[in-house]
Amino acid sequence: MGELYASAQRLTRCSLRLCFIVYFMYLSASYFFAMWKYEKGEHRRKHTWSKTEAGFIGSHKGAQGMCPCGVSEKEAGEVLNRGIPLRDVSMELPDRIYAVFQGVIYEAVPDNTGKSYHAYPWRGDLRGRPRLPRVIINQLEKQAQAEGTEKEFKKWWKEYGQ
Residues 61, 129, single domain; the answer is yes
Residues 6-16 pLDDT 10s: 655 554 554 44
Residue 118: which residues within 8 A CB-CB, separation 6 or more? 38, 39, 40, 41, 44, 47, 108, 109, 111
pLDDT of residue 60: 77
Q: Is the pLDDT of residue 138 over 50?
A: yes
Residues 42, 81, single domain; the answer is yes
Q: 4 φ, ψ to 5°?
A: -60, -45
Residues 120, 104, single domain; the answer is yes
Predicted confidence band at 29 (pLDDT cuts at 50, 70, 90)? very low
Residues 78, 3, single domain; the answer is no
Give 47 or 82, the one with higher predicted confidence: 82
DSSP string for residues in 79-128: HHHTSEEE--TT-SS-SEEEEEETTEEEEEEE-TTSS-EEEEE--S-STT
Report how far residue 10's alpha carbon sits from residue 3's, in angstroms, rounded to the nearest whole number.
Answer: 11
Q: What's the N-to-C CA distance of the chain in angstroms?
A: 70
Residues 86, 22, single domain; the answer is no
Residues 63, 29, single domain; the answer is no
Report how far residue 116's alpha carbon sits from residue 149's, in angstroms, rounded to the nearest whole number.
Answer: 27
If one counts the domains in the chain, the total is: 2
Residues 28, 49, single domain; the answer is no
Residues 66, 13, single domain; the answer is no
Residues 35-79 pLDDT 10s: 767 766 555 555 677 888 988 888 777 788 888 888 888 898 899
Residues 19, 76, single domain; the answer is no
Contact 57/66 with Cβ under 8 angstroms?
yes
Contact 63/126 with Cβ under 8 angstroms?
yes
Residues 136, 94, single domain; the answer is yes
Residues 101, 29, single domain; the answer is no
Residues 14, 41, single domain; the answer is no
Predicted confidence band at 21 (pLDDT cuts at 50, 70, 90)? very low
Pairing state between β 96-101 and 104-110? antiparallel
The residue segments making up the domain with residue 56 are 35-160
